[in-house]
Each structure stands twice: as structure tokens, then as C-alpha cells.
């Protein structure tokens, strides 16, 4: 007997997309910012410029010429390189580079000052609690910071691209910040301490100036270091996070585990637990300043359909790639060694030296992905997606489609057009699906200018249907007279039960009674 399941796609959103929000790292990027002289290997430069714009910070015409000669020799697609003339001090563009705030007819480059790299202690045998202050307060004195040459980077960058600037009344370190793109933010206690603020004062500023309404401050989990969160965890989607794992012999083991446990207690923008993947990071030699250094696999860069992951020439490199592939199916996961002869460090790797530059005209798809637990055997699962075209806000898009297929099949995806309802919402449904099957799917939106976006940016989402028998209304694994009685009562009461809808016409009537009798007789 064929077993199948009818599902309606894409679940109702718990919340609307905020009117103004900081862009998340996995959203549509037009390119990446780096600095010359380089802090990354040439093969990584080649990759960054292969499909997207590579913005290169240079101080002088001579530096620009040096960069052009070097890039040409390395095989960089120089047509995708844009030079930004500005004073710079460091190649850590992640830390001093811009954040981006987007909204309805709103696009701002956040101009913040970077405070350098104060080291703080944090990890101890004390009970770990989110936001507990275990560290010294500072900022570093301005005259001794040494980073003021980076202070105008964002201004010069924004001016060259004719983008508006929004000032920020905080020292801000990009490597110590993650966001889900919906108003949720994360950093360690270091971010608060280097501003010499209380947690409450810090919360107020990020709510008012960065539109981060749900901000989580974690204890500094390392024994002593710069305590940046991008060396501890990696949000790879609004509901999916990769978190570092260290050896049980590490003095920081319990603090890292407590850090991870905090995420198990949080809910996502959609009101449910995060999908958490752990990534083992073994000990490495590290830099001279690093305490208990381990591989910084979470210090990776997401660039549209690619994930660029630091490698160390050790056996765990392959495992790191596998964890990313499991968390982000269908993305191209590429590992990079520092081929300049200098190793990646535990607190200074690929992500630290690159900064994503995002698309102010992006299409944004908000979608509460279907999880296996959402797929019930006796009810339809209604779904809708919110799609915002920031280039033409509140306009109906040319096309919003659902693509789906059985994971076991090699053929092309099936296409279903999603229907517009209102307020940027689109909805639709799957056809009848086989039970006990794995389903891969994604959503695509296209505007009138031909610009498109998929959710996820690359690859697919996945869920499993459950195993059941249509007609087994009481779910005892047998179709018999008891099921006939239930179906007749459903007809009389005008109630609906999916398992009783044998002809899949979304109603229970005498035709379903006839079919269940026929099943029993045959």
C-alpha cells in the first residue's frame, strides 16, 4: 500500500521583520573588504575577487600600484577590485570595518571607532552566568590606543560609494559581534568593558543606535585573551549556530561548555531552539600572546554561496569542513591555509582579516524553516514567507517560488508558485508527499529587474515526513471496521481528519467511506 502525506508549506511567521536592522553575515553581499599590505594569502584574494567585488584599502598611489602588480601576478580578477583610499593601521578589517543598517528606504554605514585589542581574563571555576562581569573595565587611553589611523576607514569608504553614515557612540569591535539579522545580537563582556559601561547602559545604546532589541552578553570564556566571539561561535543562519568545542583536558573546557549551554537556553527569532552544531578545535602552537590556543575554525567568512574556513594542516581540518557542510547543506565549503608561511592563529584567522560588504538593494526572505517535528501525520502545516525587496519596498515581486524534491532523487527540483497575500507575505503548499521520506527544498524570489535571491542563499533546507498509513484513522497500524466507524462519524459531524481523507480532496464525505471499505475488501 502506498503511504503518503499532504503538507502545506512554510510556516507562519512569529514576528515581522524589523523596520531597521543590522544585516547578518549570510545575507546578500556585493563583496569583501581587505587591506593592503595583505594579511591574507594570495589564493584567498583570488577567491574573494572571483565572483564578487574586492574592496582594498590603500593609503597611497604607490601602495595601489604594488597591490595591482601583486594581484596580476597571482591571477586575481583585477576587474572586480575597487581601491579605497584611506589611512589604515591594520589588516584586521573585521574589527574596524563597517556594520550596515538596512530598512525601508534606509541604508547606513555605521561609523564606529575601534579600540584595539585589550586582553581580559574571564574563565574561572566560578559558576557561569550570562553577562556576569569578571573583567577589568577600560577603554584604552586614546593617546596609547595606536588604532586611530583606522578611525576614518568607514567614512572614506562610505563617501567613495556615496553611502550615508550613521555615527555610533561606542567603541565597537566587529570580531566580537554576531547578529541574527532580526535584532538579536551577541558579544562577550569585553565589548561592554572596553566602553567602560554597565551592561544596562550598553544595552540601551545598542537598542537606540543599532536597533538590537535582544542583546546577549556572555562572560569572557577564555582564561585570558581578546575574548572575541568569532573565535568561539559562528551563526550561519538565523536559527543555526556552530560552537567551538575543546578537549576535556583544556582549562577552559567547562567555561566553553557553559558558553554553549547558554545557546541551548535561547530561542530564535521564530520562538524555538537554535539548531546547534559543535565543532572540535584541537590545540595548536598559537601566537606568542595566546593562552591555551586552539584552532579557530569558527573564524570563517560567509560570502553568498560560499563559506571560507581557516585550515591548519592537521587531520581535524577535514572534520571542520564536514561540520560546516552538515550545518549548511549545498554551500561550497572551501578551506584555506595561510600560504604566506604564517599560521592562522587561535585569535586571529581568516574572519578577522576580511569584512563583508552587503547589498543595499538586496532582496530579503524571512522564512521559518520546516523541521521534521513540524510535520504531523494528521494535520496540514500552513506556511508563509515574508519577502522584502529593499530596492522597491512593499511592492509585489515578479515571482516567488518553492522548489522541492525528494532527497533520494537525482532529478530536477519541482516548482510551485507561491501566492501573494498582503504585507510582503507569500504562501503555497506542497503536493501529496510520500511518507517516511526526506525532502529538500528552497525558496526563490525574483524582482522586476531580474535580481533574485534564494533561501537559503545556497543549497537547501531539509525535513523528513513520517511513516503512516492513509485510512488508519485511529493509527493502530490496521485498517478495519473501527476506522470505518470513525470516518462515518467525521462525515456526520463535518469534522476533518487528514488520515480519513482518502481521496485527498480536503473534505471528508461518503466517497472516503467507500474508499476505506474498498481498501478493507481488497
Q: What angle do CA 256, 240, 442 make, to 5 degrees?
A: 165
pLDDT of residue 13: 56
Considering only CA atoms, which of 186, 381, 222, 357 is closest in space to residue 296? 222
- Helix residue ranges, H only, 75-198: 93-96, 142-145, 153-161, 189-193
Q: Are 251 and 262 in contact (CB under 8 A)?
A: no
Considering only CA atoms, which of 370, 362, 431, 360 is closest in space to residue 397? 362
Q: What is the mean pLDDT of the chain?
A: 89
User: How many Cα atoms within 13 Å fall on the side-chain side of residue 298?
Assistant: 28
Q: Are 224 and 236 in contact (CB under 8 A)?
A: no
User: What does the alpha-carbon distance between residue 146 and residue 142 come to, in Å, rounded to a whole number?
Assistant: 8
pLDDT of residue 380: 63
- The kind and range of the H/E element at 388 are strand 384-389
Considering only CA atoms, which of 156, 105, 161, 160 is closest in space to residue 361? 105
The C-alpha cell that represents 447 in the structure block:
524582482
pLDDT of residue 334: 98
DSSP for 17-40 reads PPSEEEPPTTS-EEEEEEESS-SS
Q: Are 164 and 140 in contact (CB under 8 A)?
A: no
Provide the Cα torsion 178, 155, 109, 70; round to 10°.
-60
pLDDT of residue 146: 59
Q: How far is CA 208 from the centre of its chain?
A: 24
pLDDT of residue 375: 77
Length of the chain as a residue count: 522
DSSP for 309-374 reads EE--SSTHHHHHHHHHHHHSTTSEEEEE--TTS-PPPSSSSTGGG-EEEE-TT-EEEE-----GGG
Domain boundaries, the chain: 4-15+362-464, 24-358, 481-521
- The kind and range of the H/E element at 49 are helix 42-51
Considering only CA atoms, which of 54, 306, 23, 29 is closest in space to residue 177? 23
Rounded to two decimals, what is the model's pTM?
0.87
Topology match between the domains 4-15+362-464 and 24-358 = no
- The kind and range of the H/E element at 154 are helix 153-161
Q: How far is CA 285 from the centre of its chain?
A: 30
Positions of E strands within 105-163: 106-113, 120-121
Q: Work out whether strand 240-245 and strand 233-237 pair parallel, antiparallel, or are unpaired.
A: antiparallel
Q: Are 399 and 28 in contact (CB under 8 A)?
A: no
The CATH class for the domain spanning 24-358 reads alpha beta
Considering only CA atoms, which of 146, 36, 41, 48 is closest in space to residue 85? 36
pLDDT of residue 124: 64
CATH of the structural domain 4-15+362-464, one choice from 2.60.40, 2.40.50, 3.10.450, 1.20.1300: 2.60.40
Beta bridge partners of 464: 438
pLDDT lower than 70: segments of the chain: 1-15, 124-146, 340-341, 376-381, 468
User: What does the alpha-carbon distance between residue 394 and residue 423 come to, in Å, rounded to a whole number?
Assistant: 7
Beta bridge partners of 334: 308
Amino acid at each position: 500500500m502506498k503511504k503518503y502525506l499532504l503538507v502545506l508549506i512554510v510556516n507562519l511567521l512569529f514576528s515581522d521583520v524589523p523596520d531597521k536592522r543590522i544585516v547578518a553575515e549570510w545575507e546578500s553581499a556585493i563583496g569583501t573588504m581587505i587591506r593592503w599590505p595583505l594579511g591574507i594569502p594570495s589564493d584567498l584574494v583570488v577567491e574573494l575577487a572571483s565572483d564578487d567585488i574586492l574592496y582594498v584599502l590603500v593609503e597611497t598611489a604607490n601602495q595601489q600600484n604594488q597591490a595591482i602588480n601583486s594581484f596580476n601576478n597571482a591571477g586575481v580578477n583585477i576587474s572586480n577590485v575597487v581601491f579605497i583610499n584611506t589611512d589604515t593601521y591594520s589588516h584586521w578589517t573585521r574589527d574596524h570595518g563597517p556594520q550596515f543598517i538596512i530598512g525601508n528606504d534606509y541604508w547606513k554605514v555605521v561609523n564606529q571607532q575601534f579600540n584595539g585589542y585589550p586582553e581580559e581574563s574571564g574563565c574561572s571555576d566560578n559558576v557561569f552566568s550570562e553577562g556576569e562581569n569578571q573583567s577589568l573595565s577600560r577603554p584604552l587611553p586614546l593617546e596609547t590606543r595606536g588604532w586611530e589611523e583606522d578611525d576614518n576607514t568607514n567614512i572614506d569608504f562610505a563617501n567613495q560609494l556615496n553611502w550615508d553614515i550613521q555615527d555610533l557612540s561606542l567603541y565597537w569591535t566587529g570580531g566580537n559581534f554576531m547578529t541574527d539579522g532580526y535584532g538579536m545580537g551577541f558579544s562577550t563582556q569585553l565589548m561592554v568593558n572596553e566602553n567602560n559601561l554597565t551592561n544596562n547602559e550598553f544595552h540601551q545604546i545598542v537598542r537606540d543606535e543599532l536597533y538590537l532589541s535582544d542583546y546577549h552578553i556572555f562572560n569572557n570564556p577564555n582564561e585570558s585573551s581578546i575574548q572575541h566571539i568569532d573565535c568561539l561561535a559562528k551563526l550561519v543562519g538565523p536559527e543555526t549556530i556552530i560552537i567551538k568545542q575543546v578537549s576535556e583536558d583544556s582549562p577552559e573546557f567547562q567555561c566553553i561548555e557553559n558558553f554553549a549551554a547558554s545557546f541551548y537556553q535561547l530561542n530564535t527569532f521564530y520562538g524555538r531552539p537554535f539548531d546547534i552544531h559543535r565543532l572540535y578545535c584541537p590545540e595548536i602552537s598559537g601566537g606568542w600572546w595566546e593562552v591555551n590556543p586552539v584552532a579557530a575554525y569558527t573564524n570563517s567568512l560567509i560570502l553568498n554561496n560560499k563559506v571560507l574556513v581557516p585550515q591548519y594542516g592537521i587531520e581535524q581540518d577535514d572534520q571542520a569542513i564536514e561540520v560546516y557542510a552538515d550545518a549548511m547543506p549545498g554551500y561550497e565549503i572551501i578551506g584555506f591555509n595561510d600560504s604566506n608561511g604564517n599560521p592562522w592563529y587561535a585569535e586571529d584567522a581568516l574572519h578577522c582579516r576580511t569584512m563583508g560588504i552587503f547589498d543595499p538593494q538586496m532582496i530579503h526572505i524571512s522564512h521559518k524553516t520546516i523541521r521534521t517535528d513540524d510535520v504531523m501525520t494528521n494535520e496540514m502545516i500552513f506556511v508563509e514567507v515574508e519577502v522584502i525587496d529593499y530596492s522597491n519596498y512593499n511592492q509585489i515581486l515578479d515571482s516567488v517560488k518553492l522548489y522541492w524534491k525528494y532527497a533520494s532523487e537525482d532529478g530536477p527540483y519541482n516548482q510551485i508558485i507561491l501566492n501573494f497575500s498582503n504585507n510582503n507575505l507569500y504562501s503555497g503548499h506542497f503536493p501529496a508527499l510520500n511518507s517516511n521520506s526526506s525532502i529538500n527544498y528552497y525558496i526563490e524570489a525574483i524582482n522586476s529587474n531580474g535580481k533574485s535571491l534564494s533561501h537559503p542563499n545556497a543549497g537547501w533546507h531539509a525535513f523528513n515526513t513520517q511513516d503512516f498509513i492513509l485510512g488508519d484513522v485511529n493509527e493502530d497500524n490496521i485498517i478495519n471496521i473501527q476506522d470505518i466507524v470513525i470516518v462515518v462519524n467525521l462525515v456526520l459531524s463535518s469534522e476533518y481528519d487528514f488520515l480519513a481523507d482518502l481521496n485527498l480532496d480536503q473534505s471528508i464525505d461518503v466517497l472516503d467511506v467507500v474508499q476505506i471499505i474498498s481498501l478493507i475488501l481488497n
